[in-house]
Amino acid sequence: MKPFSQALCSLVLTAAAVRVAAQVNPYKDGTPGVTGYRSEVLSEVIIQEDKFTRLAEAIPAAKYSWRPTADVRSFAEVFLHVSAANYNLYKLVGTPPPTGLDLKGLEKSTADKAKVTAVLKDSFTHARRAIAAMPDADLEKSMDWFGGKNSERGVLLFVVRHAAEHLGQSIAYARFIGVVPPWTEDVQKQQPEKKESPPKHKR
């Protein structure tokens, strides 16, 4: 294959990959093998995974240690905090984290972009598997929870809400440093450019 043809092929494949990444839609495509309430939760988790991972890739590596003030988490710490939650919380519904993973120290373990994004992606893979493996019969099981009681159904709801809070935090961080969320860029690229209307003359 000639160099030009190779480059063109690579460009086409890359563009196709971008389009696929921008088209994650479990509401349309479904969640094969997972139904009912678990399917609804899984749909939200899939959307959150797509947004977290795309945003994490869009943040420059040099900004992973950045934080708006000294007393809040950095980009890396937010992403790793969400990752730790994906492992910690799903063990409450029957799927323990991988053996040997230091969850207590995970949040502050690294600010290296490649390592952080790899951990983030792996944690969402774990989350999806945990939801798929959970029997519907366990949804109403009760457990002690912050001084009260909660069901496994409620734990799944909490996991989604917790990740959503930190996704919003990450979006605010990104905007502050001038990074537009990739899914917003997708929408902006699809909108036709507005042509300025000529000024109206007063009569």
Instruction: Determine the Cα–Cα distance for residues 92 and 105; give it in Å rounded to an integer.
Output: 20
Collapsing DSSP to helix, strand or coil, 28 comes out as helix
Residue 92 maps to a domain: yes
Cβ contact 54:186 at 8 Å: no
Q: Is residue 3 part of a domain?
A: no
**Site of tokens 């990444």:** 21
Among candidate residues 66, 65, 26, 24, the one with its CA nearest the CA of residue 42: 26
DSSP state at residue 181: P
Judge whether 8 lies within some domain: no
CATH number at residue 99: 1.20.120.450
pTM: 0.83
Residue 42 lies in a domain: yes
* pLDDT, one tens digit for every residue, the chain (203 residues): 444 444 434 333 333 333 434 478 999 999 999 999 999 999 999 999 999 999 999 999 999 999 999 999 999 999 999 999 999 999 999 999 999 999 999 999 999 999 999 999 999 999 999 999 999 999 999 999 999 999 999 999 999 999 999 999 999 999 999 999 999 998 888 887 655 556 665 55
194 in any annotated domain: no
Question: 116 is in which domain, residue-wise?
Answer: 20-181
